[in-house]
A and B are shown apart, each in its own frame.
Chain A
Amino acid sequence: MLRFIARRLLETIPVLFIIVTATFFMIRFVPGGPFTAEKAVTPEVMRNLERAYNLDKPLWRQYAGYLGKVVFHGDLGPSFKYPNRTVNEIIADKLPVSLELGAWAMLIALGLGLPLGIIAAIKRNTFMDYLCSAFGMIGICVPTFVLGPLLALSLGIYLHLFNVSGWYGPTDRILPGVTLGFVYAAYVMRLTRGGMLEVLNQDFIRTARAKGASEFRVIFRHAIRGGLLPVVSFLGPAIAGILTGSFVIETIFQIPGLGREFVNSAFNRDYTLVLGTVILYATLLIGLNLVVDVVQVWLNPKLKFE
């Protein structure tokens, strides 16, 4: 297993290198730059600005310089858009917020999706099943930019239960967490139901029942481990989606997370912030996929580390 992990980590290096290189050059070839604005910058000022940010050097030298700083000093450079903050600081400030939001969303997704999925599977083709499946369908269909404002309107404005936006007190976590987690809860519910149904039809379950195991024991002792495998495989992409996809939620609820920086930095042509967030998310995604792969082998006796 250690050899497997070590090999996968080694593979990460060229992947990251390619991602950084591609991003570095792509963002440079996009029309417009960090100082493109409605009021044109005079040519003299533009020359001075480019000098101040080393943009007057040949592109390959900028690239080499950037890579050197990142690899040897872990320095992602100053932000173009926010001159009094560095990219390292922006990430250090905002990643925890996105992670916390993601954690709440994950909690909602699993806390809601797993029980509903299990219930739906056990009570297959009954009213309960239809109810849970309807939840699954609605959750997948309703986009976050509809659900968010709806929740803010009903629970925030009409019932005065929560602030409609902001990230100040503990209660401010609820609306965005639910909004972001809802769609994933729906997926988890459907995957759980599917996985459980498949397992419940297998011979060893019939054997367990024949041996007189209680229904509770059959479900939670025998079926659940196999039944949840699809959910585990889904967790990797889900966490990735929650982390990178929080842009909409962060904008609707005015949350100071990294998702907004990730998207807005591209609009602002904030070269260093684009690269910084891309490097971070790429690393996170590669890491998460590795974890999921390891866990899958661990849970599923049919798989082996090759």
Chain B
Amino acid sequence: MPSRLSLLLLATALVLTGCAKKDPAPAADAGNQPAPRKFLRFGNGTEPQDIDPAIVTGSPEYRLLQTFSEGLVSEDPDMQIIPGAAERWEISPDGLTYTFHLRADGKWSNGDPVTGQDFVETYQRMLNPVLACQYAYMLYNHVVGAKAYYDGKTTDFSTVGLKAPDARTLVVTLLQPAPFLLHAMNHYAWYPVHIATVKKFGGLTQRSTAWTRPENYVGNGPYVLKKWIPNQIIVAERSPTYWDRARVKIDEIDLYPIELADTEERMFRTGQLDITNEVPLTKLAVYRREHPESVRVDPYNGLYFYRYNVQRKPFDDVRVRRALALAIDRESLVKNVTLADETPAYNFVPPNLLGYRSEHTFKADLAEARRLLAEAGYPEGRGFPRADLLYNTLEKHKTIAEALQQMWLKNLGINITLLNEEWKVYMDDQHSRNFQFQRAGWIADYIDPHVFFDLWETGGGNNDSNWGNPEYDRLLHSALATPNNAARFAIYQQMEKILIDEMPMLPLFNYTRARLISPRVKGFFSTPIDNYPWKYADVAP
């Protein structure tokens, strides 16, 4: 009875096919037909969590938020502050009061005007402890009364220094001058949300709501959210209500959430992508040789370093910490291992931050390194205890760690043990300080050297090195109270001197962002924190 068998096979196939839902209409097949509209397709990294500024924490989300909303101020291609939702602002002479004047033609994508009240209510929502916004500190570290409101010490929001005296004015009162505030305000923690929409779909204190779905979402940015198919595509369409819409040139931006650099590269080759998020390192050299016009490497405001646990042997001895830092060849590391034009780091702050240049750096010095190690009691590495270098499981980190392991063995005669852990386990060990020394990276949230100095405050949430220095902390706080950059940067120089002397970590290199970009894309630029202000970009037809 073969019929039973064939029936069975047929049924299996039918059941499986039958279960399968028909896919939505082909989304971005625009490459096959001549499009009258200008469109651009780019790889945006992992699938974004959400586009609610009070919920998200990652850079794919940051790029989306810059596409769909706009803060009070914005940054131009030279990283200078320019007007955003606010057309102008005044800062009081003591640097404590910021008065923003919102533009008359500022509109949400549903046509509502963007008002000062929108900003106040957005910030009130962010500071509501029930919502548990992870970036709430970006507000309460600076704004008068915000911490007390966040901690529930008061439920009266009028005690907080965020006020809208009329529809087109917002007044922010600060605890201390914080001269970088305008740059910090370009972070999405300060972006407004359309409160009426949030209220309509779930309410102000719910984390899991549907207000950010394409059919509900209302934003005030240069693009509106047209479509979002998870793990497939996000379609951004030029906003008809955005105040600066005349400057926006591209009609549609398709954002593809793609995790694998190899997949992106293949899509780039077939024209499915105009801009990729990454380049597979193994292919970078080939592209540089054969298609230099498609390779683009931008500086990225971040530092790749190894963090010491200064309470664990042998790194409780500053001589050991310095010896390891002096005994490696960073030039060779970036040239032969990391490959994407990273710059070797001999200090603690990446360059190009508002003109801040470190006066205090160190340099590789083998003889000095050997001397320090001998002085610490390990001449030529003899008797050096077991030291585990912890990194999260990733090929790139492994290669770098292996290269350094070799350098230390060859130059100092010490043998470091490599230890890798899955991301969350590694993070858990870092935050609970369960490591000897570990790979780490720090990327600026906004353009200011403060971001990198803040990291090493005694007991700071992200310090994790057990290192602390009262003088350093004092300088950090006095810098915040300094109204102008020249004076503030002078204080940072002193702080960097302390870091060089005490070395709570070992700087390796400053990050870059390498990507493939089609020559048909014009005027594209990436900020040092890897955002793409789309309104300056254009595409050749």
Chain A residues with CB under 8 Å of chain B are 30-33, 35-42, 44-45, 48-49, 51-53, 78-79, 81-86, 90, 93-94, 96-97, 99-100, 102-103, 106-107, 110, 114, 149, 152-153, 156-157, 160, 163-169, 220-221, 224-225, 228, 232, 235, 239, 251-256, 260, 267-269, 295, 298-299
User: Can you report 7 residue pairs joining A to B where beta carbons are below 8 Å apart?
Assistant: A36-B424, A97-B20, A100-B16, A110-B9, A168-B26, A225-B5, A260-B231
Say yes or no: B57 contacts A39, CB within 8 Å.
yes
CB of A199 to closest CB in B, whole Å: 13
> B57 contacts which chain A residues (CB < 8 A)?
37, 39
> B134 contacts which chain A residues (CB < 8 A)?
35, 37, 39, 41, 45, 49
The answer, among B2, B17, B131, B212, for a CB contact under 8 Å with A220, is: B2
> A110 contacts which chain B residues (CB < 8 A)?
9, 12-13
CB of B57 to closest CB in A, whole Å: 6
Q: Is B258 an interface residue (CB 8 A)?
A: yes
Q: Is B491 an interface residue (CB 8 A)?
A: no
Q: Which of B208, B212, B269 has the most chain A CB atoms inside 10 A of its CB? A: B208
**Known pairs A37-B427, A78-B208; A83 contacts B50 (CB<8 A):** yes
Say yes or no: B5 contacts A224, CB within 8 Å.
yes
The answer, among A35, A48, A166, for a CB contact under 8 Å with B130, is: A48
Say yes or no: A106 contacts B230, CB within 8 Å.
no
The answer, among B8, B49, B208, B269, for a CB contact under 8 Å with A295, is: B8
Say yes or no: A267 contacts B232, CB within 8 Å.
no
Q: Which of B50, B229, B270 has the most chain A CB atoms inside 10 A of its CB? A: B270
Q: Which of B134, B209, B258, B461 has the most chain A CB atoms inside 10 A of its CB? A: B134
3 smallest beta-carbon distances between A and B, as pairs = A32-B424, A100-B20, A103-B16
Say yes or no: A99 contacts B19, CB within 8 Å.
yes
B window 170-226: CB within 8 A of A: 207-213
Q: Is B4 an interface residue (CB 8 A)?
A: yes
**Known pairs A31-B424, A44-B151, A225-B4; A52 contacts B132 (CB<8 A):** yes
Say yes or no: B428 contacts A31, CB within 8 Å.
yes
The answer, among B28, B136, B266, for a CB contact under 8 Å with A152, is: B266
Say yes or no: A168 contacts B13, CB within 8 Å.
no
> A299 contacts which chain B residues (CB < 8 A)?
4-5, 8
**Known pairs A32-B427, A52-B207, A99-B19; A106 contacts B12 (CB<8 A):** yes
How distant is the Cα of A114 from the Cα of B8 in the complex, in angstroms? 14
> B26 contacts which chain A residues (CB < 8 A)?
168-169
Nearest A residue to B257, CB-CB: A254
Binary contact track B27-45/A, C-beta < 8 Å → 1, others 0: 1110000000000000000
Q: Which of B57, B132, B213 has the most chain A CB atoms inside 10 A of its CB? A: B132
> A41 contacts which chain B residues (CB < 8 A)?
134, 461
**Known pairs A36-B424, A42-B461, A84-B50; A48 contacts B5 (CB<8 A):** no
> A84 contacts which chain B residues (CB < 8 A)?
50, 52, 208-213
Say yes or no: B259 contacts A251, CB within 8 Å.
yes
**Known pairs A33-B424, A48-B132, A97-B20; A165 contacts B258 (CB<8 A):** yes
Say yes or no: B461 contacts A40, CB within 8 Å.
yes
Count how many chain B residues have C-beta atoms less than 8 Å from C-beta atoms of the other chain. 68
The answer, among B16, B29, B47, B256, for a CB contact under 8 Å with A169, is: B29
How distant is the Cα of A160 from the Cα of B4 in the complex, in angstroms? 41
How distant is the Cα of A30 from the Cα of B421 in the complex, in angstroms? 12
The answer, among B19, B136, B208, B422, for a CB contact under 8 Å with A86, is: B208
The answer, among A30, A165, A169, for a CB contact under 8 Å with B266, is: A165
Q: Is B1 an interface residue (CB 8 A)?
A: yes
> B13 contacts which chain A residues (CB < 8 A)?
103, 106-107, 110
Q: Is B133 an interface residue (CB 8 A)?
A: yes
Nearest B residue to A35, CB-CB: B134
Q: Is B395 an interface residue (CB 8 A)?
A: no
Say yes or no: B209 contacts A267, CB within 8 Å.
no
Say yes or no: A298 contacts B423, CB within 8 Å.
no
CB of A195 to closest CB in B, whole Å: 12
> B231 contacts which chain A residues (CB < 8 A)?
94, 254-256, 260
Nearest A residue to B46, CB-CB: A264
> A44 contacts which chain B residues (CB < 8 A)?
129, 150-151
Say yes or no: B208 contacts A253, CB within 8 Å.
no
> B427 contacts which chain A residues (CB < 8 A)?
32, 36-38
Say yes or no: B208 contacts A166, CB within 8 Å.
no
Say yes or no: B441 contacts A38, CB within 8 Å.
yes
**Known pairs A78-B208, A106-B16; A166 contacts B425 (CB<8 A):** no
Say yes or no: A83 contacts B207, CB within 8 Å.
yes
Q: Is B263 an interface residue (CB 8 A)?
A: yes
Say yes or no: A166 contacts B272, CB within 8 Å.
yes
How distant is the Cα of A165 from the Cα of B258 in the complex, in angstroms? 10
Say yes or no: B49 contacts A83, CB within 8 Å.
yes
How distant is the Cα of A7 from the Cα of B462 in the complex, in angstroms? 56
Binary contact track B267-295/A, C-beta < 8 Å → 1, others 0: 10110100000000000000000000000
CB of A175 to closest CB in B, whole Å: 11
Say yes or no: B423 contacts A267, CB within 8 Å.
yes
Q: Is B429 an interface residue (CB 8 A)?
A: yes
Say yes or no: B5 contacts A166, CB within 8 Å.
no
How distant is the Cα of A221 from the Cα of B2 in the complex, in angstroms? 6
> A168 contacts which chain B residues (CB < 8 A)?
23, 26-29, 232
Say yes or no: B270 contacts A160, CB within 8 Å.
yes
> B422 contacts which chain A residues (CB < 8 A)?
267
CB of A228 to closest CB in B, whole Å: 6
